[in-house]
Amino acid sequence: MQQHAGAPALLSLTVWLTVAASVAAAAEFNIRDHGAKGDGITFDTAAIQKAFDACGKAGGGTVRFPAGTYLSQPLTLRTKTTVQFDEGATLLASTNQQDFMKAPGDWTKATSSDFIPLLAGKDLEDIALTGKGVIDGSGEVWWEEAEKARQKVSGYTLPRPNLFTLQRCRN
Protein backbone atom coordinates (compact mmCIF):
# COMPACT_ATOMS: atom_id res chain seq x y z
CA MET A 1 0.00 0.00 0.00
CA GLN A 2 1.35 3.43 -0.92
CA GLN A 3 1.68 5.82 2.05
CA HIS A 4 0.34 9.33 1.57
CA ALA A 5 1.32 12.44 3.51
CA GLY A 6 -2.22 12.67 4.90
CA ALA A 7 -2.38 9.06 6.13
CA PRO A 8 -1.31 9.75 9.75
CA ALA A 9 -3.98 12.47 10.07
CA LEU A 10 -6.63 10.06 8.81
CA LEU A 11 -5.47 7.46 11.32
CA SER A 12 -5.70 10.07 14.08
CA LEU A 13 -9.21 11.00 13.02
CA THR A 14 -10.27 7.35 13.00
CA VAL A 15 -8.91 6.87 16.52
CA TRP A 16 -10.65 10.05 17.68
CA LEU A 17 -13.98 8.92 16.27
CA THR A 18 -13.62 5.60 18.04
CA VAL A 19 -12.83 7.31 21.36
CA ALA A 20 -15.70 9.77 20.93
CA ALA A 21 -18.11 6.94 20.14
CA SER A 22 -17.11 4.97 23.25
CA VAL A 23 -17.35 8.07 25.47
CA ALA A 24 -20.79 8.84 24.06
CA ALA A 25 -22.00 5.36 24.98
CA ALA A 26 -20.94 5.87 28.61
CA ALA A 27 -23.68 8.24 29.77
CA GLU A 28 -26.06 10.88 28.45
CA PHE A 29 -26.72 14.21 30.13
CA ASN A 30 -29.77 15.90 28.63
CA ILE A 31 -29.61 19.61 29.44
CA ARG A 32 -33.40 19.69 29.96
CA ASP A 33 -32.97 17.17 32.79
CA HIS A 34 -30.67 19.74 34.42
CA GLY A 35 -33.26 22.53 34.16
CA ALA A 36 -32.77 24.06 30.70
CA LYS A 37 -36.01 25.46 29.25
CA GLY A 38 -34.94 25.99 25.64
CA ASP A 39 -37.41 28.84 25.10
CA GLY A 40 -34.86 31.34 23.76
CA ILE A 41 -35.83 33.85 26.46
CA THR A 42 -34.73 32.29 29.75
CA PHE A 43 -31.01 32.04 30.40
CA ASP A 44 -30.13 28.32 30.40
CA THR A 45 -26.46 28.90 31.30
CA ALA A 46 -26.59 27.32 34.78
CA ALA A 47 -28.50 24.24 33.56
CA ILE A 48 -26.15 23.67 30.62
CA GLN A 49 -23.07 24.10 32.82
CA LYS A 50 -24.57 21.62 35.34
CA ALA A 51 -24.88 19.07 32.53
CA PHE A 52 -21.26 19.69 31.42
CA ASP A 53 -20.05 19.42 35.02
CA ALA A 54 -22.04 16.23 35.68
CA CYS A 55 -20.63 14.71 32.50
CA GLY A 56 -17.10 15.58 33.58
CA LYS A 57 -17.64 14.26 37.10
CA ALA A 58 -18.99 10.98 35.68
CA GLY A 59 -15.83 10.51 33.63
CA GLY A 60 -17.40 11.48 30.32
CA GLY A 61 -20.40 10.99 28.10
CA THR A 62 -22.72 12.95 25.86
CA VAL A 63 -24.31 16.27 26.74
CA ARG A 64 -27.46 16.41 24.60
CA PHE A 65 -29.17 19.57 23.38
CA PRO A 66 -32.65 18.51 22.23
CA ALA A 67 -34.63 20.77 19.87
CA GLY A 68 -35.10 24.26 21.35
CA THR A 69 -33.26 27.56 21.65
CA TYR A 70 -30.93 27.72 24.64
CA LEU A 71 -29.90 31.26 25.59
CA SER A 72 -26.53 31.23 27.29
CA GLN A 73 -23.61 33.15 28.69
CA PRO A 74 -20.10 31.60 28.46
CA LEU A 75 -19.75 27.89 29.21
CA THR A 76 -16.82 25.62 30.11
CA LEU A 77 -16.48 22.19 28.51
CA ARG A 78 -15.20 19.12 30.38
CA THR A 79 -12.93 16.21 29.40
CA LYS A 80 -14.37 13.22 27.51
CA THR A 81 -17.48 15.10 26.46
CA THR A 82 -19.42 14.77 23.25
CA VAL A 83 -21.79 17.70 22.80
CA GLN A 84 -24.74 16.54 20.68
CA PHE A 85 -26.86 19.25 19.06
CA ASP A 86 -30.05 17.59 17.85
CA GLU A 87 -31.75 18.93 14.74
CA GLY A 88 -33.69 22.04 15.76
CA ALA A 89 -31.39 22.78 18.72
CA THR A 90 -29.73 26.20 18.91
CA LEU A 91 -27.19 27.36 21.48
CA LEU A 92 -27.76 31.13 21.39
CA ALA A 93 -25.18 33.50 22.86
CA SER A 94 -26.33 36.31 25.15
CA THR A 95 -26.65 39.69 23.44
CA ASN A 96 -25.16 41.47 26.47
CA GLN A 97 -21.53 42.24 25.62
CA GLN A 98 -20.65 42.46 29.34
CA ASP A 99 -21.38 38.74 29.67
CA PHE A 100 -18.25 38.09 27.60
CA MET A 101 -15.88 40.46 29.42
CA LYS A 102 -13.39 39.10 31.98
CA ALA A 103 -13.85 42.34 33.94
CA PRO A 104 -16.55 45.01 33.62
CA GLY A 105 -15.68 47.81 31.26
CA ASP A 106 -16.16 49.38 27.86
CA TRP A 107 -15.88 46.51 25.39
CA THR A 108 -15.06 48.93 22.56
CA LYS A 109 -11.80 49.74 24.37
CA ALA A 110 -10.98 46.13 25.24
CA THR A 111 -8.30 43.93 23.75
CA SER A 112 -8.96 40.43 22.47
CA SER A 113 -7.56 38.97 25.72
CA ASP A 114 -10.27 40.78 27.72
CA PHE A 115 -13.01 38.49 26.39
CA ILE A 116 -14.40 35.06 27.33
CA PRO A 117 -15.58 32.78 24.49
CA LEU A 118 -19.06 31.26 24.43
CA LEU A 119 -17.60 27.73 24.64
CA ALA A 120 -14.18 27.14 26.15
CA GLY A 121 -11.95 24.39 27.45
CA LYS A 122 -8.37 24.00 28.67
CA ASP A 123 -6.24 20.88 29.07
CA LEU A 124 -9.06 18.58 27.94
CA GLU A 125 -9.12 15.26 26.10
CA ASP A 126 -11.68 13.65 23.81
CA ILE A 127 -13.98 16.55 22.96
CA ALA A 128 -16.51 16.40 20.13
CA LEU A 129 -19.28 18.70 18.95
CA THR A 130 -21.74 16.85 16.75
CA GLY A 131 -25.22 17.00 15.28
CA LYS A 132 -27.38 19.12 13.04
CA GLY A 133 -28.06 21.94 15.51
CA VAL A 134 -26.70 25.49 15.47
CA ILE A 135 -24.32 27.49 17.63
CA ASP A 136 -25.34 31.14 17.17
CA GLY A 137 -22.88 33.67 18.59
CA SER A 138 -25.34 36.60 18.26
CA GLY A 139 -22.70 38.38 16.22
CA GLU A 140 -25.06 41.12 15.13
CA VAL A 141 -24.79 42.84 18.56
CA TRP A 142 -21.09 43.44 17.83
CA TRP A 143 -21.29 44.45 14.17
CA GLU A 144 -22.53 48.08 14.36
CA GLU A 145 -19.70 49.28 16.62
CA ALA A 146 -17.17 47.20 14.70
CA GLU A 147 -18.27 48.79 11.43
CA LYS A 148 -18.07 52.30 12.95
CA ALA A 149 -14.49 51.54 14.03
CA ARG A 150 -13.60 50.29 10.54
CA GLN A 151 -14.97 53.48 9.01
CA LYS A 152 -12.79 55.60 11.32
CA VAL A 153 -9.63 53.55 10.74
CA SER A 154 -9.48 51.61 7.51
CA GLY A 155 -8.79 47.91 8.09
CA TYR A 156 -9.22 48.15 11.88
CA THR A 157 -11.30 45.48 13.57
CA LEU A 158 -12.64 45.89 17.08
CA PRO A 159 -11.70 42.91 19.22
CA ARG A 160 -14.62 40.63 20.02
CA PRO A 161 -14.97 37.32 21.84
CA ASN A 162 -14.40 34.04 20.06
CA LEU A 163 -17.30 31.66 19.68
CA PHE A 164 -15.26 28.60 20.62
CA THR A 165 -11.78 28.23 22.12
CA LEU A 166 -9.86 25.11 23.13
CA GLN A 167 -6.38 25.38 24.65
CA ARG A 168 -3.89 22.56 25.11
CA CYS A 169 -6.45 19.87 24.25
CA ARG A 170 -6.06 16.45 22.64
CA ASN A 171 -8.53 14.59 20.44
* pLDDT value for 150: 87
Evaluate whether 65 touches 72 at the Cβ level (below 8 Å).
no
Evaluate whether 69 touches 39 at the Cβ level (below 8 Å).
yes
Q: Which portions of the chain are predicted below pLDDT 70? A: 1-26
Q: pTM score, two decimals? A: 0.82
- Alpha-carbon distance of 6 to 22, in angstroms, equals 25
DSSP state letters, 100-121:
GBSSSS-GGG--GGGB--SEEE
* pLDDT value for 95: 97
